Structure 1
Amino acid sequence: MKKTKAVLAASISLLSFNSLGAGFFEDAKSSVGLRTLYYENDIRETGGVDQRQTAQGVRVDYLSGFTEGTVGFGLDVQALLGLNLDGGFDNESASTVNTVTPVKSDGSPVDSWGRLGGNAKVRISKTELKLGNALAPNLPILVTNNSRVMPQAFEGGVINYKEFDGLNLVGGKITNGSSRASSNYSALGVSGGSRGSNSFVFFGGDWTPRKDLLLQYYHSKLENYYVQDFFGLVYTYQIVPGQSLKADLRYFDNGSDGKVGAGGYIFNNAGGFASKPGEVDNKTWSAMFTYTLGSSALMLGYQSVSDDGAMVYVSSGNVRDGNNNLEGQGGASVYLFTDAMANTFVRAGENTTFGQYSYDFAANGLPGLKAYFTYLKGENIKDRAGNGQKYSEWERDMRVDYVVQSGVLKDFGVSLMRGNFRTEIPGSQGGADIDQTRLYLNYTYSFK
C-alpha cells in the first residue's frame, strides 16, 4: 500500500512537471551575480558619524519562461546573501542607520544577512502580471534602489499591458518593501514618517508615437501620505550620424493624502522652508539637454522645487513598528537628475543648476572604459525658522567605469566613485558636509 502511494505521488509529480510545458524551462534564464563594495562616508561635522565598510553581496536569479497555451504561467525566484567583510561606524550608535548592512541593537553591523523572494507571473498575449515580493519597478513614480550590495525589493502586484505598438501601460499596488540594507519587509513611508502605509497604488504609461519621441504620464498614491502626478517628455534630435541633441523634461505635482500631518504620518520637508511643514504640497520640474558628439556627451539642466514644500517619494528609513523599533534600513531613489551620490537637492524652494560631462574611451582603443564628471549647485533654500535667511549647497561627483570585454574575466566590472558635498545649511536643520567614496567590483555569470 505504501509503495502504491509512493508511485502515485511520483506519477502526480511527474505529470505536474510535464504539464508545465517546454516553454517554462526552455525559455528560462538563470544567473549568479557577485558584488563587492567598499563604502566610505565621511561626515565632516563635529560629532559626525563616519562609516567605512566593505561588504560582499551574492545574488542568484532564476527566471522561468511561460507555460504553453493561451494563458502562460511562470515563476521568478531570487536569493540574496550579504556578508560584512570589514568595518562599520568609527563611532557606533544604535540610533544610526547603516546604509550598507543591517545593524545589531548596539549599532554594530551584522556579520551576514539574506533574503529569499520570488514572483509568480501570468501572461496573456502581450499582457503580463507579476505577484510576489521580488518586484523591482523602475518607473518615474517608484525607482528601485540598487546602490549597495543588495537591491531594494517590493511586495505586491504589477501589470504591464503592451497590446499596442509603442504603448506600454502599467498599473499595480505595492504593500511592503525591503531596503538595500535589510533582510525583512516593512511598511512604506516617506522622509520623516514613522507610521507605515501598506498601500501604494499607481497607474500610467509610456507612449512612443515615433522612435525619437517619448511621452509619459503616471499617477500614484501612498495612502495617508501623498498623491502624485508625473508628466514626462523625451525628444532626441539626430543632427548627423554621431551627433545628437536630447531634451528630457519632467514635472511632478504632489499633494497630501489622508492622515498626513497628524500622528506619525509626518513629512519632514527635507528640513527646508515649507508653508505646511508636516504635510505634502509640492511642484517640482526639471529640464535637461544633452549634446552628444562622438565619444563625448555634455549635459546641462535646471530643476525647480516649489516654495510650499519639498519633493516627496517613497522612503521607509523612518518607519517604526508598534514597539517603536526601527523597521526599515533606509535607502531610496527618486526619478530626478539631481539624485546624486550624497544629496538629492529637493528642499523646498531649492533651484538647482547641474551639468555632466562624460567620455567613452572606446574610440581611443579602450572599449569598456567610461568616465563621468558631474556638478550640481542648489540655491534659494529658505530657512525654516522664517528669518529670511537663504542657503545654498553644491555637490561634485566623479565616476570611472570599466568592464572587461573578453577573455576569462569577460563582463567583470569595476566602478570607482567619489563625491564631495558642501552645504551652508546648519546642522540643526539637517545640514552636513560629506565626502563619499565607493568602489564596486561586479561580476554576473549567466547560465543561459
Structure 2
Amino acid sequence: MNKQPLALIAIGSALFSSLSMADFIKDSKATLGMRNFYFNNDNRDGAASPSRTEEWAQGFMLNYQSGYTEGTVGFGVDALGLLGVRLDSGDGRHVGSSMIPSDGNGAAEQWARFGATAKMRFAQTEMRYGTLTPKLPILQANDGRLLPQTFEGGQIVSNDFEHLTLTGGHLEHATGRGSSDSTGLAVAGGTRESNAFNFAGADYKVSDALLAQYYYANLEDYYQQHFAGLVHNLKLGDFGALKTDLRYFKTTADGANDSAAGRASGYRTSGYTQNGDGKIDNNTWSLAFTWSIGAHALMAGYQQVSSDSGFVQLNQGGLPDKGAAGASVYLLTDRYIQNFTRAGERTGFGQYTYDFAALGLPGLKASAMYLSGRGIRTTAGPEQEEWERDLSVDYVIQSGPLKNVALGWRNGVSRSEASRDADQNRLVVSYSLPLF
C-alpha cells in the first residue's frame, strides 16, 4: 500500500489545524484579578443573634479568554478560576454565607470554583455554553462581595442587523457569591428549585441618542416577566447633558406558582402578596433623570411597585444552600442594604456624583445617594416606610508602582419598618494583572 497519500493528508491536516488555531492562540488573553474585601454589616435592632457580620477576605479571579479558530465558523473556549481566602472572621461575626461560606464550624478558611465556557462565532453572532455572568435587564449576576455569582447554561448574542442586538438563552443552575456549590433557580422565598430560566430580548438603537429595549424571561414554575425600557441622552451644549432612563416590568405567575398546590409545596415568593399565598403578580416602573455638567452629575428619580406582590427576579436565598444568597435586580434602587421592591412601595431617590479630576485629582470620584420608600403593604396594620443613605468614594492610582490599583469605600445606613435597621461599611482594594 502506498503510504504517501496518507502522509500528505496527515501533514495537510496538521498544517490546516495549525492555521485554523492561529487566531485562537494569537487573540487569547488572560488576567488575574485580585480583590481584598472588608465587609461589616451592623444591625441596629431586632432579636436575631449575632447582630453583626464582620469579615475580611482575599479573592483571586483568573480569567482566560481564547480567540476564535479561523474559518466561516470560529470556535473558542473561556475559563474562569475563582479562589477566596479568609483573612478574618471571628466567633460571633460570621452570619450565614453573606461573603464567606459556612463550613459547619463557622466561616470557611478558603473556597474555590472553576468554570469553563465553550463558544462559537458565525458572522456577528456568538453562542456561548457553560459558565456565564449575564448583565441583562431580566438578570443581573451579583458582584457585590468577594467573588461574583455565576450561572450555567447557554446564551446567544447577535449583532448581524444594524443598530439591533438580539439576545436569547437558557440557564439551569447558579452558584452564589459565597459558595462553591451550584443550585437550581428560584425567587426570594422559594424553597423549590426550577432548572429552566429562558429569556430573549432586543436592544435597538433608534438614533445616536435613543436606545429602546424589550426582554422576556420565564423562570419555569415561578414567573413570566416582560421588560420595556428607553434610555435617551440629550446634549445641552454649554449646559452639559441630560439622560432619561425609563424602565417597566410586568411579572405574572407561571406553572406551579399559579396554583395553590404548587405554592404550598414551595413554589412561592416571600413578602406581602394579595391573598397571603405567595403568588407572583407585579408591575414595577421607574423613571430617572441624570443631569451632567463638568465634574458634576445629579440624578433624581421615582419608582413604583404595584401592591399585589413585590418585584421579583432570580434569587436563590430561600434554597437549602445558604451560600446561594445574594442577588441583584435591574433597578436603580438596588442599593447596598435595601432594594425598595416591596409590594406597594413608592420610592423617591436622588444622587450626587463628583469627579475630582476637575480639581487636579484624576481617578478620584465620590457620590452620595438618598432613597425614601413609602406605602409598603402589610398583612395587618398601617403601611410601612423605609429609607437609605449611601456614600461611596473610589480612587484609582494613576502612576507609579501601584498604578491602576483601585480603592473603594462604601457606607450605607438603612432605617426600615419592614426589616432590621442596619449600618454597613465595605472597604475594597482591587487590581487586575494582565498575564498575556
Aligned pairs for 1:330-369 (under 5 A) are 330-369=325-364
| Equivalent position of 2:3 in the other structure | none
In structure 2, the residue corresponding to 1:162 is in which secondary structure?
strand
Give, in angstroms, the shift of residue 205 of structure 1: 1.2
Give, in angstroms, the shift of residue 209 of structure 1: 1.8
Asked if 1:372 is matched to 2:367, the reply is: yes
| Equivalent position of 1:409 in the other structure | 402
Q: Count how many residue pairs are aligned between Structure 1 and Structure 2.
A: 420
What amino acid does structure 1 have at the position aligned with 2:102?
A: V
| Equivalent position of 1:44 in the other structure | 44
| Equivalent position of 1:447 in the other structure | 435
CA distance in 1, matches of 2:13, 2:107: 43
What amino acid does structure 2 have at the position aligned with 1:443?
A: Y
TM-score (norm 2): 0.93
- Out of 86, 89, 92, the position equivalent to 1:84 is 86
Q: CA RMSD in A?
A: 1.9
CA distance in 1, matches of 2:205, 2:238: 22
What amino acid does structure 1 have at the position aligned with 2:122?
A: I
Give, in angstroms, the shift of residue 399 of structure 1: 0.1
| Equivalent position of 1:158 in the other structure | 155
- Out of 91, 116, 127, the position equivalent to 1:129 is 127
Do the aligned residues in 2 keep the contact of 1:226 with 1:255 (CA within 8 Å)? yes
Change (3 A) 1:368 1:293: same
Which stretch of structure 1 is more off in the superposition, 402-411 or 164-173? 402-411
Q: Map Cα deviations across residues 107-142 of structure 1 (whole Å, 9 max, x no partner).
A: x1100000111100000000000000x201100000
Do the aligned residues in 2 keep the contact of 1:371 with 1:400 (CA within 8 Å)? yes
Asked if 1:312 is matched to 2:307, the reply is: no
CA distance in 2, matches of 1:306, 1:89: 42
For structure 1, which runs of at least 5 residues remain unmatched after alignment?
1-9, 321-325, 426-430
Change (3 A) 1:397 1:363: same
| Equivalent position of 1:5 in the other structure | none
Give, in angstroms, the shift of residue 363 of structure 1: 1.1
Do the aligned residues in 2 keep the contact of 1:230 with 1:250 (CA within 8 Å)? yes
- Out of 199, 211, 216, the position equivalent to 2:213 is 216
Give, in angstroms, the shift of residue 46 of structure 1: 3.9
- Quick one: percent identity of the two aligned structures? 44
Give, in angstroms, the shift of residue 144 of structure 1: 0.8
- Out of 136, 140, 149, the position equivalent to 1:139 is 136
TM-score (norm 1): 0.90
Change (3 A) 1:19 1:176: farther
CA distance in 1, matches of 2:58, 2:207: 43
Change (3 A) 1:419 1:235: same
Do the aligned residues in 2 keep the contact of 1:276 with 1:309 (CA within 8 Å)? no
| Equivalent position of 1:119 in the other structure | 117
In structure 2, the residue corresponding to 1:259 is in which secondary structure?
helix
Aligned pairs for 1:36-435 (under 5 A) are 36-48=36-48, 49-87=51-89, 90=92, 96-106=95-105, 108-132=106-130, 134-240=131-237, 243-260=240-257, 261-268=263-270, 271-272=271-272, 274-275=274-275, 277-320=277-320, 326=321, 328-385=323-380, 387=381, 389-425=382-418, 431-435=419-423
CA distance in 2, matches of 1:390, 1:284: 18
| Equivalent position of 1:3 in the other structure | none
Q: Map Cα deviations across residues 189-211 of structure 1 (whole Å, 9 max, x no partner).
A: 11000111100000001100211
CA distance in 1, matches of 2:409, 2:159: 38
CA distance in 1, matches of 2:47, 2:160: 57
Q: Map Cα deviations across residues 240-259 of structure 1 (whole Å, 9 max, x no partner).
A: 05700110000000000011
Change (3 A) 1:91 1:180: closer
Do the aligned residues in 2 keep the contact of 1:341 with 1:419 (CA within 8 Å)? yes
Q: Map Cα deviations across residues 335-379 of structure 1 (whole Å, 9 max, x no partner).
A: 001000000000000000000000001111100000000000000
Change (3 A) 1:432 1:327: closer
